[in-house]
Amino acid sequence: MIKDITNIKIGTIWNDARGSSFKDTIESEPHLSADINLKSPITADLMVVKVKDGVIALLNELEVDIGFTCNKCNESFIKKIKIESFERQFHSHPLAKDEDSLEIFQISMKDLSIDLTEALRQEIILHFPMIPVCSEHCKGLCFKCKVNLNKKEHLKTCTYQDDSGKNTSTNSYKPFANLKELINKNNK
């Protein structure tokens, strides 16, 4: 099992033929960047394959819990990010002009190792929700008193009632409120 993703040794396959590979599992708590609030170790299956001029690192079944702040109610919450599969290439030579430094990384030739930190950082951020919300039912904050509408305390402290709350206002529009009654009448 690999705990340190900054220094994964590839020496065992480096002098082997193309297509040679090894497998391992990752369970690591790296420091990725300030905008990724890790709440669990990153776990994944890793396969490293020798290719021309380098290796490809294939990661499968990656899972990690990330802390977010809800865009509606400002509460923090944890969401599990799952990434089925992704890969990044690592070269033994400096990048060619047409090669993208965000997609192709360097092998540390000094000790024949690769560092997955940047690849994981990119891939995890790609899987962040566009707008983080604690739940699809989140009611957000009261526009009047700014108290979290998901919490019951709000009903005691504020006169504003949202339409989805239990104590609904009397004049909200409910086109089907009388439908059931009408149907029952017609059936009699």
Determine the interface stretch with Zn ion among 10-18, 79-87, 111-119, 143-151 (rule: CB under 5 A).
143-151
| Least Å from the CB of residue 108 to Zn ion | 43
Q: Give the per-residue contact string, 64-103, with Zn ion (x = CB under 5 A; - = no).
A: ------x-xx------------------------------
State which residue, 9 or 72, has the beta carbon closest to Zn ion: 72
| Least Å from the CB of residue 77 to Zn ion | 7
For 35, phi then psi, to 5°, come to: -90, 5
Count of residues in contact with Zn ion, rule CB under 5 A: 10
- Nearest-angstrom CA–CA distance, 136 and 171: 26
The CA-to-CA distance between both ends of the chain, in Å, stands at 71
Determine the interface stretch with Zn ion among 60-68, 87-95, 126-134, 177-185 (rule: CB under 5 A).
126-134
Q: Is 145 in the site for Zn ion (CB under 5 A)?
A: yes
Residues between 149 and 188 that touch Zn ion (CB under 5 A): 158, 160
Determine which residue in the list 38, 51, 138, 155 makes contact with Zn ion, applying CB under 5 A: 138
Structure tokens at 4: 């340190």
Q: DSSP letter for 141, please.
A: B
State which residue, 28 or 148, has the beta carbon closest to Zn ion: 148
Residue whose tokens read 């290719």 = 51
State which residue, 24 or 163, has the beta carbon closest to Zn ion: 163
State which residue, 32 or 73, has the beta carbon closest to Zn ion: 73
| Least Å from the CB of residue 170 to Zn ion | 18
| Least Å from the CB of residue 154 to Zn ion | 6
3-state secondary structure of 182: helix
Q: What is the CB neighbour count within 10 angstroms for residue 10?
A: 20
- Nearest-angstrom CA–CA distance, 96 and 89: 13
Binding site for Zn ion (CB under 5 A): 70, 72-73, 134, 138, 142, 144-145, 158, 160
